[in-house]
Amino acid sequence: MIATIVVVVILVVLVLWAVSAYNGLIKLRNLVQEAWRQIDVELTRRHDLIGNLVETVKGYAAHERGTLEDVVKARSAAMAPGQSPAQQAESENMLSQALGRLLAIVEAYPDLKANQNFLALQNELTSTEDRIASARRYYNATVRDLNTKVETVPTNIVANLFTIDRAEYFEAVGEQREAPKVDFGQRDATIPPSSGYQQQPGAPEGTGASTPPAPGTQA
């Protein structure tokens, strides 16, 4: 009788522990999903702000089409649905690189740099980047807690039994850890200056710094 009672007690304890472990894993998984949704909200805002920023720059520097197109393409790739956190991080990295090249071009346009709409967009984008960084830290912390439970004994037994898997971190990857490299290559060099004008030696491509044709020459 005593042995039977002991076995029953042990079984009850094991069941209660398994239920507690399962509920804890589900809670952590839900926290990870909730944290990712918050990142997604901020990324959507980032993409919208970058789209508005491109339109503003286009009004002043439409002929910088190569760099503008790069940002638009990178933005479209970042907005593609169904990406995993690792894929999204890579897409955002490419968008950050393209945006860095665009902002480098802005330095050649004082009127654009002083435009109130452009300045407001820059400030909002900076604020959004800060919120993304904060959301990233919270998300990665919850992922770490879930993965620790999934990988360690004895909770890994419950995780394997109910197919609760590890989650992916959302990390800065590749060149995103470094300052954006400004390298326009040959793309912008192929953009001809406005008809009838010659680019001044040493003037940045596409800045509008030019001199009129010599008198008597055909425009």
The confidence score (pLDDT) of residue 2 equals 85
Report how far residue 40's alpha carbon sits from residue 86's, in angstroms, rounded to the nearest whole number.
Answer: 13
- For the cut 60, the answer to whether the pLDDT of residue 202 exceeds it is no
Mean pLDDT, rounded, of the chain: 83
CB–CB of 115/56 below 8 Å? Answer: yes
The confidence score (pLDDT) of residue 164 equals 96
23's enclosing H/E stretch is helix 2-61
Kindly state the average pLDDT of the residues 22-45: 97
CB–CB of 193/210 below 8 Å? Answer: yes
pTM (2 decimals)? 0.74
CB–CB of 54/68 below 8 Å? Answer: yes
The confidence score (pLDDT) of residue 172 equals 67
Report how far residue 153's alpha carbon sits from residue 156's, in angstroms, rounded to the nearest whole number.
Answer: 5
* Domains by residue range for the chain, with CATH: 2-182 (1.20.1440.20)
